[in-house]
Structure 1
Amino acid sequence: MSDHLNKRRAGILLHITSLPGAGQCGDLGEEAYNFIRFLHDAGISVWQTLPLGIPHGDGSPYQCMSAHAGNPALISIEWLENKGWLQRTGRAEVSYEGYGLVISNLVRKAFQGFKELATGTEQEDFVSFCSEKAYWLDEFALFYALHKKFGGRSWNHWPEYLKQREPKAIREARKRLSETIEIIKFEQYVFYNQWQELKLFAEQHDVLLFGDIPIFVSYDSADVWANRQAFKLDEEGEMQVVAGVPPDYFSATGQRWGNPHYDWDYLLSTNFRWWRERIKTQDELFDILRIDHFRGLESAWEIPASEDTAINGQWIAAPGHALLKAIKAEYPSLSLVAEDLGVITEEVEALRDDFSLPGMKILQFAFDGGADNPYLPHNCTQNSVVYTGTHDNDTTLGWFNALNDDEKHRVYEYLGFTQTQMPFTLIGTAFASVANLAIVPMQDVLCLGSKFRMNTPGTIEGNWRWRFEWDQLTEEHAGRLKHLVELFGRRCE
Structure 2
Amino acid sequence: MLNRRGCGVLLHPTSLPGPGGIGSLGVHGRRFVDLLCDMGMSYWQVLPLTPPACGNSPYSAFSAFAGNPLLIDLERVAEEGDLGSADQGEGYPEGYVDFGAVILRKTELLRRAGEAFLARGDAGRTAEFREFCANTPWLEDYALFMALKHRFQGKVWNHWPEGLARITPRARRQQGEWLRHDMQLQSYLQWQCARQWQELRRYANRRGIAIIGDIPIFVAYDSADVWGERGLFLLDREGDPTVVAGVPPDYFSATGQLWGNPLYDWEAMERDGYEWWIRRFRASLELFDIVRVDHFRGFEAAWQVPAGATTARGGRWVKGPGELLFDRLRDVLGELPVIAEDLGVITPEVLTLRDRYRFPGMKILQFAFDADLDDRDLPHNHVPHGVVFTGTHDNDTTRGWCESRSAAELEEMAAYLGTAGDDCPGDLMRAALMSVANTAILPLQDILGLDSGARMNIPGTPWGNWEWRFTWEMIPEGLAASLRSRLERYGRGRHGGNDHGT
What band does the TM-score fall into relative to the shorter chain? over 0.9
The aligned amino acid for 1:91 is Q
8 Å contact from structure 2 (residues 365, 377) kept in 1:
yes
SS in 1 for 2:244: strand
Q: Distance in 2 between matches of 1:419 and 1:346?
A: 35
The equivalences for 1:51-450 within 5 A come to 51-93=48-90, 96-115=99-118, 119-133=122-136, 135-418=137-420, 421-450=423-452
8 Å Cα contact 1:231/1:263 also seen in 2: yes
- Is 1:28 aligned to residue 25 of structure 2? yes
Offset of 1:369 from its aligned partner? Answer: 3.9
- Listed one character per residue, the Cα deviations across residues 388-446 of structure 1 (whole Å, up to 9, x for unaligned) are 00000011011111111110001111111157723222111111111111000110001
Q: Aligned with 2:211: secondary structure?
A: strand
Once the two structures are superposed, what CA deviation does each residue of 1:153-181 show, in whole Å capped at 9, x if it has no partner?
A: 10001011101113443322211111000
Of 175-184 and 411-420, deviating more is 411-420
Rate the CA distance shift 1:476–1:397 in 2: closer, same or farther, 3 A.
farther
Question: 1:284-317: per-residue Cα shift (whole Å, max 9, x none)?
Answer: 1100101100000000000001210000001000
Q: Distance in 1 between matches of 2:388 and 2:250?
A: 20
Q: Which residue of 43, 49, 74 corresponds with 1:46?
A: 43
Q: Is the 8 A contact 2:249 2:255 kept in 1?
A: yes
* 8 A Cα contact 1:75 1:103, kept in partner: no
Indicate the residue corresponding to 1:16 in structure 2.
13
Task: Please say if residues 244 and 304 of structure 2, whose CA atoms lie closer than 8 Å, have aligned partners that are also in contact.
Answer: yes
Please state how far the C-alpha of 1:7 moved relative to its aligned partner: 1.2
Asked if the contact 1:57/1:97 (under 8 Å) is kept, the reply is no
Contact 2:419–2:427 (Cα < 8 Å) also in 1: no
CA distance in 2, matches of 1:98, 1:276: 37
Q: CA deviation at 1:118?
A: 6.4
Cα distance, 1:490 vs structure 2: 1.0
Deviation at 1:476, TM superposition (A): 4.8
**Partner SS state of residue 20, structure 2:** coil
Asked if 2 retains the 8 angstrom alpha-carbon contact of 1:84 and 1:117, the reply is: no
What CA deviation, in whole Å up to 9, does each residue of 1:169-217 have, x standing for no partner? 3322211111000010011000000001001100111001111111000
TM-score (norm 2): 0.95
Q: Which AA in structure 2 matches 1:65?
A: F
Q: Describe the SS at the equivalent of 1:290.
A: strand
What's the RMSD between the two structures over aligned residues?
1.5
Query: Which runs of no fewer than 5 residues in structure 2 stay unpaired?
Result: 93-97, 497-502
C-alpha distance in 2, partners of 1:110/1:450? Answer: 38
By how many angstroms is 1:254 displaced? 0.2
- Give the letter for the 1:248 counterpart: D
Structure 1, unaligned runs of 5 or more: none
3-state DSSP of counterpart to 2:19: coil
User: Does the C-alpha gap of structure 1 residues 161 and 116 become closer, same or farther in structure 2, counting only changes over 3 Å?
Assistant: closer
Aligned residues: 489
CA contact (8 A) 1:8 1:489 kept: yes
- Secondary structure of the corresponding residue to residue 56 of structure 2: coil
2:62 maps to a residue whose letter is: M
Q: Which moved more, 1:467-476 or 1:98-107?
A: 98-107
Distance 1:306 1:419, change over 3 A: closer
Which deviates more, 162-171 or 445-454? 162-171
The amino acid across from 1:197 in the alignment is: E
* Residue 14 of structure 1, CA deviation: 0.4
Offset at residue 283 of structure 1 (A): 0.5
Deviations 1:310-347 (A, max 9, x none): 00001000112111111112222431000000000000
Specify the alignment match of 2:487 in structure 1. Answer: 485
Letter of the 1:44 counterpart: M
CA distance in 2, matches of 1:323, 1:461: 34
Matched residues in 2 for 1:403 and 1:69: separation? 40
Residue 274 of structure 1, CA deviation:
0.4
Q: CA deviation at 1:467?
A: 0.5
Which letter maps to 2:31? N
Give, in whole Å, the separation in 1 of the partners of 2:75 and 2:160.
Answer: 36
TM-score normalised according to structure 1 size: 0.96
2:34 pairs with 1:37: yes
- Paired residues of 2:74 and 2:86 also in contact (CA < 8 A): no
Quote how far apart the aligned CAs of 1:141 are. Answer: 0.3
**Corresponding residue SS for 1:20:** coil
AA aligned to 1:66 is S
d(CA) in 2 for partners of 1:203, 1:55: 26
Q: Which amino acid aligns with 2:13?
A: I
User: How much does 1:57 deviate?
Assistant: 4.0
CA contact (8 A) 1:385 1:438 kept: yes
Is this contact kept in 1: 2:52–2:59, CA < 8 A? Answer: yes
Output the CA distance in 2 between the equivalents of 1:317 and 1:384. 25
Task: Select 2:4's aligned residue among 2, 7, 32.
Answer: 7
Equivalent AA in structure 1 for residue 154 of structure 2? G
2: CA distance, partners of 1:30 / 1:264:
43
How far apart are 1:101 and its partner, in Å?
4.1
User: Which letter does structure 2 place at the counterpart of 1:22?
Assistant: P
State the alpha-carbon separation in 2 of the partners of residues 162 and 112 from structure 1.
Answer: 26
- How many percent identity over aligned positions? 46
Q: Indicate if the aligned counterparts of 1:381 and 1:435 stay in contact, CA closer than 8 A.
A: yes
Separation in 2 of the partners of 1:153 and 1:467? 30
CA distance in 2, matches of 1:419, 1:313: 41
Cα distance in 2 for residues equivalent to 1:109 and 1:370: 57
User: Distance in 2 between the 1:180 and 1:386 partners?
Assistant: 45
By how many angstroms is 1:486 displaced? 1.0
